[in-house]
Chain A
Amino acid sequence: VQSVSQFILYIDPGTGSLLLQLLAGGLIASAVFFKKTWLSFLSIFRRKPSDSENEE
């Protein structure tokens, strides 16, 4: 399997930035799962805000 360090990178991604994604990837994926579930639960009761309302 090709490792990250073998890729030729355009910008220096930073070791910390790569590690953060690898270490916290599971946590972030779970957080997103719960947040999405929560948002779809809320959407039953709320009208969907339009894009223009989200702008400012």
Chain B
Amino acid sequence: MSTYIEPSSFRDRDGFVFFQEKNCYRAIHNSFSDTWDKIMASGLYAELVAEGKLVALEENSTGLVPELKHELYKIYKAEAIPFISYPGEWSFSQLKKAALLTLYIQRRAIEKDFCLKDASAYNVQFIGNRAVFIDSLSIDVYNEREPWQAYGQFCRHFLAPLLLDAYGVPEAHCFFLNHIDGLPLDVCSKLLPWKSRLSLLAYTHIHLHARLEKNHAGDRVLNLKNYQYSKKKLLSLITHLELGIKGLKNKKTASNWTDYYTSNSYDRESFEAKQNFVNRHCENIKGKLCLDLGANSGVFSFIAANHFEQVLACDSDASVLQNIRSKKKPNVLSLQLDLNNPTPAYGWHSKERKSFIERAGHNDLTLALALVHHLCISNNLPLPLLADFFGSVAKTLLIEFVPKEDEQVKKLLVSRKDVFDDYTSLHFEKAFLKYYEKADELQLPGSGRILYLFKRKPDYAKA
């Protein structure tokens, strides 16, 4: 039985997360035993779990890590998170939800004389559209008179990117890739427009905060004798952040993709045939996780959601993802992802945070509908590389080939030279049959489009 210790656990001296047989476990060190017992005795943990806000833990003392057992106080089996997503893949509203959950847990903790010792956005995950706090060991004892030590981190991870979005600074979510510990406040302060200084939220928590950070960066001694910081003030700080963040609204942008399925070249018969084909195979395959790449309106994500525990609706366009979320399907998680540049591995040793491909590899079905022409024509991607990519991500693949004669492909070719001689269904099949066996095929009526169901050959199975 192999044990895999989660690489991002290294910062916490009080415990760590590990995996065995696809199950996730949380180990707690002896050094944290007193605090842990106090948290459990206070009822805080049980209340937050009952509310669905904190990941549930089930005690498991079967000695799963024999070599570390003498250092460990307790081992728990953690509630399964179907897919670990990262804040750079979330939308404004998902980051806002995660921020408010973090503040809620902090408030509830303070009320019982505990406190969040860190406020990283990575501590929050989504099960469908429900945000859940996964780092049970972030809760620590609250020391009277102490300011919130994770306040700076909260501002970097949550408030800074949310404010950038709210003030219309584009691509705020991209900063998570460059900055493992959130967007530096001096950078945020420079990016925000001048008028943001008129907002007390942005002025105090970002601009003034960044100035104090800069002016006191070299301080070795912090003389706090003259200052009082009461629990009341700490709760006011949390309320101020909560009220401010609740009031933030994302600046909406128009998109070419929002009306794709109402304005594109599908006729009704063809679209119904496609829906039936997808529905039939989703029903047969079933399972835990379905990956819908290029989800667009989400119509096929919603079909899959009837048969899978969780569906990841991935698209590069924030507006279409917002439409998907507005349907409030509880087991559909929308994520922003550019397949031409999917989230890489990053953080310490490039292992702390995993690539999207590594995290998504355990899916039961991958949908790639009306997608390949965008990858092949717009990004000059040769078919063998396309097949190679899917071969590494999808064990079962439902994919649509969109031929050159299709109106959507013609549009893509209007402004460029057609250098895609091998972009044919014949070459497409040949490329995919290197990795897959063809399980089903459907020529869509009244269209040159073909749907394929591929099953990965055992020799190409992911290790």
Contacts and interface: CB of A to CB of B under 8 A. Distances in A.
Interface residues of A, number: 36
Contacts of A24: 204, 208
Contact of B149 (A2, A3, A13): A13
A1 B149 contact: no
Given A1-B145, A16-B152, A17-B209, A10 B12 contact: yes
Contacts, number: 128
B236 A28 contact: yes
A44 interface: no
Contacts of A18: 147, 149, 151, 222, 224
Contacts of B117: 9-11
A39 B239 CA distance: 13
Given A14-B152, A56-B325, A32 B215 contact: no
B447 interface: no
B233 A28 contact: yes
Interface string B13-45: 100000000000000000000000000000000
B268 interface: no
Contacts of A33: 236
A5 B205 CA distance: 22
B326 A7 contact: no
A17 B221 contact: no
Nearest to A54: B246
Interface string B418-460: 0000000000000000000000000000000000000000000
Nearest to B252: A56
B9 interface: no
Given A7-B146, A10-B117, A17 B152 contact: yes
B145 A19 contact: no
B212 A20 contact: yes
B219 interface: yes
B213 interface: yes
Interface in A1-56: 1-5, 7, 9-11, 13-29, 31-33, 35-36, 39, 52, 54-56
Contacts of B325: 56
A27 to B, nearest CB: 7
Nearest to B201: A31
Contacts of A20: 151, 204-205, 208-209, 212
B143 interface: yes
B190 to A, nearest CB: 16
Contacts of B149: 7, 9-11, 13, 18
19 contacts: A3-B224, A4-B145, A7-B149, A9-B117, A11-B11, A13-B148, A16-B214, A16-B216, A17-B152, A17-B212, A18-B149, A19-B212, A19-B216, A20-B204, A21-B148, A22-B224, A23-B227, A26-B233, A28-B236
Interface of A: 1-5, 7, 9-11, 13-29, 31-33, 35-36, 39, 52, 54-56
